Structure 1
Amino acid sequence: MSERDEEKREFDLAWAEGAEHKEPSARARMLAARWKDNPPGPVPFRPEPDHRASSGRSSWVSTAVVLGCVAAVILLLGYLNFRPY
């Protein structure tokens, strides 16, 4: 890109960013129209602290089950590979 094109591009960006009124995106307009009659309910950013504390034990159980399944598949494949035909 030539230096003149670069200067023109910078001018265009400065002109666009300096606009008094900025039109919202198509998605913002769509959501505003949808939410005008039916606003969305509140959505928490993070889960409740109690929810995380109760799921701490189940994450270890899930990990053990997954590792057990992987070990079982490895053993099964090893058995099938070394089995005489």
Structure 2
Amino acid sequence: MPEQDDREREFDLRWADGAEFKEPSARARMLAARWKENPPRPQPFRADPGPRTPRRSSWRSTAIVLGSVAAVILLLGYVNFRASY
């Protein structure tokens, strides 16, 4: 019986994929309705993102992270060294 269900399901999928008209998704219908009343403004292919705030140097961030890791390693080593005496 399960083989027959698989065959029927495969038939249904082939039948659905071969349909001439496919209904648009809910999002596509929603956007079409919204744009019918209020169409979006035209935009260039890659719109200018506008002014950017300057970022901090990635080297500075890397140095802070690596320095923090080194400090934690040294602190743990010191605590372990003091505990062994």
> TM-score, with normalisation over the residues of structure 2?
0.55
Distance 1:32 1:62, change over 3 A: farther
Question: Residue 22 of structure 1 aligns to which amino acid in structure 2?
Answer: K
Q: Distance in 1 between matches of 2:60 and 2:81?
A: 32
The Cα of 1:21 is off from its aligned counterpart by 1.0
Q: Distance in 2 between matches of 1:81 and 1:33?
A: 68
Q: Distance in 2 between matches of 1:64 and 1:39?
A: 45
Q: Distance in 2 between matches of 1:68 and 1:41?
A: 49
Identity %: 69
Distance 1:64 1:9, change over 3 A: same
Structure 2 portions without partners, runs of 5+: 50-54
Q: Distance in 2 between matches of 1:78 and 1:7?
A: 66
The Cα of 1:26 is off from its aligned counterpart by 1.2
- 6-15 or 23-32, which moves further after superposition? 23-32
Question: Residue 71 of structure 2 aligns to which amino acid in structure 1?
Answer: A
Which residue of the partner structure matches residue 50 of structure 1?
A: none
Greater helix percent: which structure? 1
Does residue 69 of structure 1 match 2:68? yes
- Kindly report which structure 2 residues correspond to 1:1-85, keeping only aligned pairs within 5 A, or say none: 2-34=2-34, 36=35, 37-39=38-40, 42=43, 44=46, 58-76=57-75
- In our comparison, the structure showing a higher alpha carbon Rg is 2
Structure 1 portions without partners, runs of 5+: 48-54
Q: Distance in 2 between matches of 1:80 and 1:41?
A: 64
User: Number of aligned pairs?
Assistant: 72
Give the aligned CA root-mean-square deviation in angstroms: 3.3
> TM-score, with normalisation over the residues of structure 1?
0.55
